[in-house]
């Protein structure tokens, strides 16, 4: 019996090994994929997660919200429960050794409702609400400022990379011109000075390539520090530089700024908070009412009934506090609060003026940058055509080496100027949206 079982097991193992030899080999682990290309929205999302300044603003907003919760709780009565026992040395009397005692043994077990109503606490609650609004506005200011920073760095990386590519293209063109001048010199058509001029131009272009590569690497590292939680220099960006949104009409932008400007909202919230601070300090001159309501026992035995007597009962205490004289301390705090309120009024007025000026300035910047893009695109096409024609004229003996070099420089300059203008328009839109929000 056991022999049959052993034979069956051996056959089963053999079949398993045969089946495994016929199976295809398991695929090897794929090599790590290249990092996914990041869009501008991806970079903004990462920056909001990892930028400490923005997170600090969020924390301040959260703290302000909890301050408002605490101020509201101060307006409402609180409920607590107390229990305890008091022992006094007995001396044969009903109260024991201490005159103030109710007996040698006293037991307390009470639920207590306590509250206070004052003009100061009401004003403090209102002030906490405005401070929360102020913190939210500052969070929005930080968020929009962070977006502007990300946009600037994001397109700074793209432009630096494009300038590197432009420098490489210009270096190739310069090397081609060196070969062309050498061929023409060998044919006796140009002087050796043309070869020297072409070589000098090629050397300058090679140096430009090195500088552009360094600038591209530095820009990439700067953005990486801003958006990534770890050191990650190897990443790619989606180049949407030439897909910029249209610029709205000024009337629409002005309407959006009137509704969504966080700087004005913050200044207004600060003013309202300072007004409530004045009210809270003035409340120090006014009376306040506090009350306590207790239900439970305060007896010589821990019981609700003793010898037919009910120990369980209620007690209510109300207190009116009327301030009379404090050597001017309250009035001094009132004057301090009034000074801060007056300053907040000036700051709100300045914020309104600054917002109007910035709105026109940012809009004009965006409008100018948008207008220059088409002009520079035309210049780019013209510079490329000029370089092509000048090179043909040089081959035909109708142009000098200096003209070719000037055409190469003009072409490279036009390429870089066009890229700078496209990035400038993107940054101008981001600056404008710090006042209006997204449009």
Q: pLDDT per residue over 359-399, tens digit each?
A: 999 999 999 999 999 999 999 999 999 999 999 999 998 99
* DSSP string covering 225-283: HHH-SS-----EE---TT-PPPPPPHHHHHHHHHHH-HHHHHHHHHHHHHHHHHHHHHG
Lowest mean pLDDT among 2-6, 177-181, 266-270, 369-373: 2-6
Q: What is the H or E stretch that residue 116 is in?
A: strand 105-117
The Cα-based distances of 380 to 373, 377, 427 in angstroms read 10, 5, 21
Q: How confident is the model at residue 150 (pLDDT cuts 50, 70, 90)?
A: very high
Q: How confident is the model at residue 2 (pLDDT cuts 50, 70, 90)?
A: very low
pTM beyond 0.85: the answer is no
Give residue 18's pLDDT.
37
Residue showing tokens 């940012």: 362
Q: Alpha-carbon torsion 9, 12, 14, 17, what sign?
A: negative
**Across all residues in the chain, what is the average pLDDT?**
89
Token pair recorded at residue 27: 């695929």
Cβ count near 277 (within 10 Å): 24
Q: pLDDT per residue over 39-84, tens digit each?
A: 999 999 999 999 999 999 999 999 999 999 999 999 999 999 999 9
8 A C-beta contact, residue 71 and residue 128: yes
Q: pLDDT per residue over 230-261, tens digit each?
A: 888 889 999 998 888 899 999 999 999 999 99
HSE of 180, CA atoms in CB hemisphere, 13 A: 21
pLDDT tops 60 at residue 89: yes
Give residue 372's pLDDT.
92
Phi, then psi, of 112 in degrees rounded to 5? -125, 130
Residues facing 306 on adjacent strands: 309
HSE of 287, CA atoms in CB hemisphere, 13 A: 6
The Cα–Cα gap between 331 and 273 comes to 19
Phi, then psi, of 329 in degrees rounded to 5? -65, -45
The Cα–Cα gap between 235 and 37 comes to 7
Question: Strands 37-38 and 236-237, how do they pair?
Answer: parallel
Q: How confident is the model at residue 140 (pLDDT cuts 50, 70, 90)?
A: very high
Token pair recorded at residue 177: 């011109």
């Amino acid at each position: 019996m056991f022999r049959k079982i052993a034979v069956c097991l051996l056959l089963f193992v053999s079949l398993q090994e045969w089946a495994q030899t016929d199976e295809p080999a398991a695929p090897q682990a794929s090599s790590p994929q290249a990092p996914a290309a990041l869009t501008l929205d991806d970079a903004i999302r990462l920056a909001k997660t990892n930028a400490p300044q923005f997170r600090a603003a969020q924390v301040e907003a959260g703290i302000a919200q909890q301050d408002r919760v605490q101020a509201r709780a101060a307006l409402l009565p609180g409920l607590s429960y107390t229990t305890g026992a008091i022992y006094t040395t007995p001396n044969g009397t009903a109260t024991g050794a201490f005159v103030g005692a109710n007996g040698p043994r006293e037991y307390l077990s009470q639920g207590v409702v306590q509250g206070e109503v004052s003009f100061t606490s009401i004003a403090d609650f209102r002030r906490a609400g405005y401070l929360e609004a102020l913190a939210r506005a500052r969070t929005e200011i930080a968020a929009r400022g962070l977006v502007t920073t990300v946009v600037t760095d994001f397109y700074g990386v793209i432009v630096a990379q494009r300038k590197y590519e432009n420098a490489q293209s210009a270096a190739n063109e310069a090397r081609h011109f060196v070969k062309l001048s050498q061929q023409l010199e060998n044919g006796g058509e140009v002087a050796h000075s043309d070869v020297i001029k072409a070589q000098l131009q090629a050397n300058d272009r090679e140096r430009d390539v090195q500088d552009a590569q360094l600038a591209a690497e530095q820009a990439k590292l700067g953005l990486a520090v801003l958006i990534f939680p770890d050191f990650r220099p190897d990443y790619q960006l989606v180049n949407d530089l030439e897909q910029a949104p249209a610029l709205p009409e000024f009337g629409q932008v002005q309407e959006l700024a009137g509704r969504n400007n966080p700087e004005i909202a913050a200044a207004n919230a600060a003013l309202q908070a300072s007004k409530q601070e004045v009210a809270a300090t003035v409340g120090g001159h006014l009376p306040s009412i506090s009350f306590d309501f207790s239900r439970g026992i305060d007896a010589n035995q821990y019981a609700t009934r003793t010898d037919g007597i009910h120990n369980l009962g209620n007690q209510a205490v109300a207190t009116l506090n009327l301030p009379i004289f404090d050597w001017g301390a309250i009035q001094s705090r009132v004057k301090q609060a009034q000074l801060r309120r007056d300053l907040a009024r000036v700051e709100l007025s300045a914020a309104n003026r600054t917002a109007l000026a910035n709105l026109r300035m940012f809009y004009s910047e965006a409008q100018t940058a948008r207008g220059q893009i088409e002009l520079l695109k035309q210049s780019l096409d013209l510079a490329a055509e000029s370089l092509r024609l000048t090179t043909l004229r040089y081959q035909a003996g109708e142009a000098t080496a200096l003209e070719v070099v000037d055409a190469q420089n003009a072409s490279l300059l036009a390429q870089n100027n066009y890229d700078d203008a496209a990035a400038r328009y993107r940054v101008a839109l981001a600056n404008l949206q710090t006042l209006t929000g997204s449009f």
